[in-house]
Structure 1
């Protein structure tokens, strides 16, 4: 495994991290035995950057990580997030960035994880009703209390990043970024993160599975798969978006690598301040993803990929209309 430095912290994180959400939530049926085996393999492969959130399985994912965290605490740099809460009537979630709630959320996460300190604590979104300065101020208090080491934001705008950084250093920004989703390049978010020395942590770097060649049809998704609700996976949009996959597969084949490896290598080639966290609950995919660090893309390779992508338009929004309102908040 290769390693990259997290922001200005000096911490060395695996260039490919591990998104753990799917072990408990969103992507079909759970497989707890395979998930634990995948976590153990991550340690063997030197993948020390693990990502979870308190909302993944309503706390279940944090609990799933606890046993290995207890016995391997010095080998794992653990990131988790707070903010999404279930509405009282059970009809959905809302985001809560109030200081009072943050203090409750961090203690609950620490208890589920079975650790004393969270390495990287993210605000899962920017609260539309709470100034980001108040949210980050409360998060900074957690650093002073020794409950958190470093702070992060997720899907924040360039303006919010600057406001937050003025209160307390931000080590990481987690936003969706891939060949499939390049918003951060166009809305000044990536440029601002670089200006401030913040590492960008791309989630869904494989387009929620589309850039893996494993989802060829909507029938490949189980009935309870959360992706079925997303605009990009709706009939009509999905089929058009698959055309992107076919073009990229040809490039990957020419380089004798898989499409996921090409996609991750492209992200890594965007800069040393990029640390993607592809999610998986299966060992075979973890090994495939980890091997992407060994793929060397030349400047010409990257240009060829970018040229190809200009021929396509991704159909559909990333999230439903309500969820999109929490993206890129100032």
Structure 2
């Protein structure tokens, strides 16, 4: 297992999901270049998932990492690897010990050339409960299946209950200028209080600030973001107004809107780690360079005033009740 941590030297982590969980899988040559680019630039914390692939074979992301380590053995110990799990292939949370042990063994078997560093419960199994889930994770950690425990999409109360049982190395949750929920529901405060790094996924608003979209039709066919409520015909044009406001601030700063968003997320607290994802090495390099951007007090005030004066429309993800029910475990 890597001696690195979930907080990388560059201050920016790299999400690998879109390399395989997309209408078309990214070719190995391009994916490997992306991963090497990230590692060489100091973004040495990679985020993967057991189910980051298209059915019937949902483990294609893990297989990609294994092929990368085989092709570039000199890189296999140079990145910290977080893997989401604790869900069935039908994406139902499950945290009983037999299921988790078998899934962890399968993950490490697929990776082949190295183990995962952090196992992240993708969602809370409410039937088991967070306290019992933590006890199970601590036992499996002690069996040597992984090193660190991570949680994803938990409430402030759940996070506090978890850290009371054992150490949590990271909590992953959505955070961006388009999604300020964790500032209002107590999760950000709970993470600071427990000194748990908060890995902020979708720091570009699921792509609003990283693309040049002008309508929902610009989102590629088959991309699951087409189902997101914020990108619906009902809300798209309204939410684009925030894109334009932030783009104007970025242009004054001489950086891209994506870099502005990533720099803003990172500036909220030293324990907040932005987790952008892409399929293009150049976009990964752009994101990592955002870690060097320093926003002045005046710039941070301007961004905050912009966010406070704007109401983003649409719920997180789609209006699917099942997805909404799993957002705050």
TM over 0.5: yes
Retained in 2: the 8 A contact 1:14–1:49?
Answer: no
- Counting matched residue pairs gives 316
Cα contact 1:78–1:120 (8 A) shared by 2: yes
C-alpha separation between the residues in 2 aligned to 1:29 and 1:12?
29
Matches within 5 A, 1:33-44: 33-44=29-40
| CA distance in 2: counterparts of 1:76 and 1:186, whole angstroms | 33
Q: Which residue of 1 aligns with 2:326?
A: 326
> TM-score scaled by structure 2?
0.92
User: Is the 1:175–1:200 contact (alpha carbons within 8 Å) kept by the matching residues of 2?
Assistant: yes
2:26 to 12, 31, 38: 31
What is aligned with 1:104? Answer: 102
Alignment of 1:51-66 (within 5 A): 51-57=47-53, 58-66=58-66
**Greater shift after overlay, 65-74 or 121-130?**
65-74
Residue 142 (structure 1) aligns with: 140
CA distance in 2, matches of 1:117, 1:137: 21
Q: Is residue 2:15 matched to residue 1:19?
A: yes
Aligned residues of 1:16 and 1:290 also touching (Cα < 8 A): yes
| Equivalent-residue separation in structure 2 for 1:317 and 1:311 (angstroms) | 18
Tell me: CA distance 1:115–1:196, structure 2 relative to 1, closer, same or farther (3 Å). Answer: farther
Counterpart in the other structure of 1:222: 220
Match in the other structure for 1:90: none
Q: 1:305 to 1:29 in 2, by over 3 A?
A: same
Q: Structure 2: how far apart are the matches of 1:110 and 1:24?
A: 18
> What's the secondary structure of 1:126's corresponding residue?
coil
Q: Note the C-alpha offset of 1:31.
A: 2.2
Q: In the alignment, which residue of structure 2 is the partner of 1:84?
A: 87
2:118–2:147 contact (8 Å) kept in structure 1: yes
Where structure 2 has 5 or more consecutive residues not aligned to the other structure, the ranges are none
Which of 279, 282, 298 is matched with 1:281 structurally? 279
TM-score calculated relative to the size of structure 1: 0.91
Question: Is 1:73 aligned with 2:71?
Answer: no
- How does 1:1-330 map onto structure 2 within 5 Å? 13-26=9-22, 28-32=23-27, 33-57=29-53, 58-69=58-69, 71=73, 72-87=75-90, 93-320=91-318, 321-329=321-329
Shift of 1:118: 1.9
> How far apart, CA to CA, are the structure 1 residues paired with 2:10 and 2:323?
30
- Could you say what the CA RMSD is over the residues aligned between the two structures, in angstroms? 1.6
Write the distance in 1 (CA, Å) between the matches of 2:5 and 2:43: 14
SS at match of 2:236: helix
- Matches of 1:264 and 1:127 in 2, distance apart? 31
Q: Per-residue deviation at 1:73?
A: 2.7
SS at match of 2:209: helix
Question: How many Å separate the matches in 2 of 1:30 and 1:68?
Answer: 15
Q: How many angstroms apart in 2 are the aligned matches of 1:150 and 1:86?
A: 23
Bigger shift: residues 289-298 or 37-46: 37-46
Q: State the Cα distance separating 1:13 from its structure 2 match.
A: 4.6
Residues 187 and 115 of structure 1: CA distance in aligned 2, closer, same or farther (over 3 Å): farther
Q: 1:209, CA displacement in angstroms?
A: 0.5
Q: CA shift at 1:298, angstroms? A: 0.8
In the alignment, the residues of structure 2 paired with residue 216 and residue 144 of structure 1 have an alpha-carbon distance, to the nearest angstrom, of 50
Question: Is contact 2:19-2:279 (8 Å) kept?
Answer: yes
